[in-house]
Chain A
Amino acid sequence: MTAVIDAKGLAKTYDLGGEKVEALKAADLLVQPGEYAAIMGPSGSGKSTLMNLLGCLDTPTAGTYRLDGQDVSGLSDDGLAEIRSRKVGFVFQTFNLLPRFTALANVELPLVYAGVAPKDRRSRAEEALARVGLGDRMGHRPSELSGGQRQRVAVARALVNRPTLLLADEPTGNLDSKVGDEILTLFESLNAQGVTLLVITHDAKVAARAPRKLEILDGRIVSDRA
């Protein structure tokens, strides 16, 4: 079976005019299809840096990375964009919905860049919204939705292209704990349907729900427990 994530010695060093910031130091990580893992660590420890590398938003300064069996190290900007489009779904702490567009239009967005024919987009976006329990809110704009509902729209958007890997960076960070729990429950039901899930958090309670927990400190993965 091909691992979804197969990273060896992955590192990211920022060069701030002479001063080097090692945001991530030689991380090794293997994640199999269908896994649900939490990456935990304090603020500034390198969690987002790791997620950006795993999601092909950024390129490492050292190490190799195979996503779903494909070596992405030498890919061009366009190649990375294509990987993001086809294989990765992102969920952000701040939702990142386009405020002037309806929930449906927001969810259709990744389909545009994946080259899905316009006539198929709507039905697929509706299906994804129904999956996150927002079948009755499709015509609403983000400002007309609660925080939890907004994050559900974001989850639907991350799902709509049927990605190999779902990456969530502090997905409950802007939600109160009850709504945060609902979002985690949604993630878990998606994972139960086979989606590979990586949740990044600084909250131990959030991490505790995942079967596999990794801890990151000062850019280094310091523990990996099941």
Chain B
Amino acid sequence: MRAGLSDAASTAWAEIRASRFRSLLTMAGVVLGVASVILLVSLGDGAKRYVEKKFAELGTNVLIVVPGHSETTGGSMPIVAGSEHLLTLEDAWEMSRRCPAVKAVSPVVVGNGTVRAQGRNRDVTVLGVTWEFQEVRNVRADMGVFLPKRREEWGRRVAVIGRRVQRELFAGQNPLGRRLEVAGVVHRVVGVMEAKGYSLGFDFDDLVLIPVKSAQSVFNQEGLFEVVASARTPERLDEAGQQIRACLKRRHNGAEDFTLLNQDDMLSTFGAILDSLTWALGAIAAISLLVAGFGVMNIMLASVGERTREIGLRMALGARRSQILLQFLLEAAALGSLGGAAGVALGVGGAVGLHLVFPGMPLAVAPWAVVSAFSFSVGVGLVFGVVPARRASRLDPIAALRHE
């Protein structure tokens, strides 16, 4: 075959290099399109991984019981829906006694209030829990002790505080034995939690834990926010769930007015939401790539117009129509792939840069996004190069040579 693909490619390449500015202009849209696909998908994917990681921190053997049934309330994360749906301390107690596959159970009451010590105030989240909370949620007091163990002591006015609370209220001094007002009610600090940071929406370092009954009276709450429990082993999670379900239904006169959640449930629910978020972000960016394709077509069309004489000349010099077609098609495809490559570099570079500047930002460059954004940009170049290339190849050589 005379003057085949490689010649058309080198001709196209020579043209791209010879008119660098126009080429760069043409590619700019593709570069930005590809970079934004990669960045947005990375963000979406990163968010998903972040959430997955956070849920994974929950532990594979943890179960959460929340009041209300998801089907009756309609939401995916049911919240308290009425007095007959309350979860009580008695429920939690029975769960711990009657479910052999359950290792530890802690009722949880959540309140927001001002805590006060040594003349300093801080607004924090207060959790009312029990001794077994540390077992379920894997928190430890590394100074002092945790909340009291026995059921009779669930109403004692003692507190375990987070690192940050200690720093802010006690200026780093030993807080053990000191007074701490929780929403106006005096408690005594018995322990400080080890640094743990965020877990499932709570900053454990900025938290105050008090016994559950104390919290109920301080915040005037009858029911529980939730009950957290752990199975004896991850393998017995389902068994533990069944036992809890049976136990609670019996206590609630056969009504399943609560919802049991485990890590897998939450992962799949949030995973699906975040997957669709990633897809939506990717699609938005892909549309910008498509728009960039029209840009490529426009500039290529203008370029064919400008280069009409050149095309006529090439024909006079022996170029067949198919060779002209191939040259322009390859030019468009090359612009697409160069733009794509630059976009990949920009997108990945941007992601890495963002990660360096904001280390906490969840970002994960997804290889599939890189590959598909790049292929898409090559495809965009090719597809949108067809119209200009056909126009170029169909020119009448004489008219083209006369063109001014």
Contact = CB atoms under 8 A, between A and B. Distances in A.
A109 B320 contact: no
Interface in A74-105: 77-78, 81-82, 84-86, 90, 92, 96, 98, 100-101, 105
Interface stretch (B46-54, B308-316, B339-347): B308-316
B316 A77 contact: no
A118 B322 CA distance: 20
Interface in A99-142: 100-101, 105, 109-110, 112-115, 118
A224 interface: no
Contacts of A85: 317-318
A154 B141 CA distance: 89
A115 B3 contact: yes
Given A90-B316, A92-B401, A77 B11 contact: no
A157 B316 contact: no
Which label, helix, strand, loop or mixed, suits the secondary structure of the B interface? helix
A112 B3 contact: yes
Interface in B8-44: 10-11, 14-15, 18-19
B317 A57 contact: no
Which label, helix, strand, loop or mixed, suits the secondary structure of the A interface? helix
Contacts of A112: 3, 7, 11
Nearest to A102: B18
Contacts of A114: 2-3, 318
Interface residues of A, number: 27
A12 B210 CA distance: 103
A85 B3 CA distance: 12
Contacts of B15: 100
Given A84-B318, A100-B18, A105-B14, A57 B398 contact: yes
B323 interface: yes
A105 B313 CA distance: 14
Given A57-B397, A112-B7, 18 more contacts: A57-B398, A57-B401, A78-B320, A78-B321, A85-B317, A86-B318, A90-B317, A96-B309, A96-B313, A100-B18, A105-B14, A109-B314, A110-B317, A112-B3, A113-B314, A113-B317, A113-B320, A115-B1
17 contacts: A52-B398, A57-B398, A85-B318, A86-B318, A92-B401, A96-B313, A98-B310, A100-B19, A109-B317, A110-B318, A112-B3, A112-B7, A113-B314, A114-B2, A114-B318, A118-B10, A157-B317
Interface of A: 52, 55, 57-58, 77-78, 81-82, 84-86, 90, 92, 96, 98, 100-101, 105, 109-110, 112-115, 118, 157, 161
3 closest cross-chain pairs (CB), A and B: A85-B318, A115-B2, A100-B18
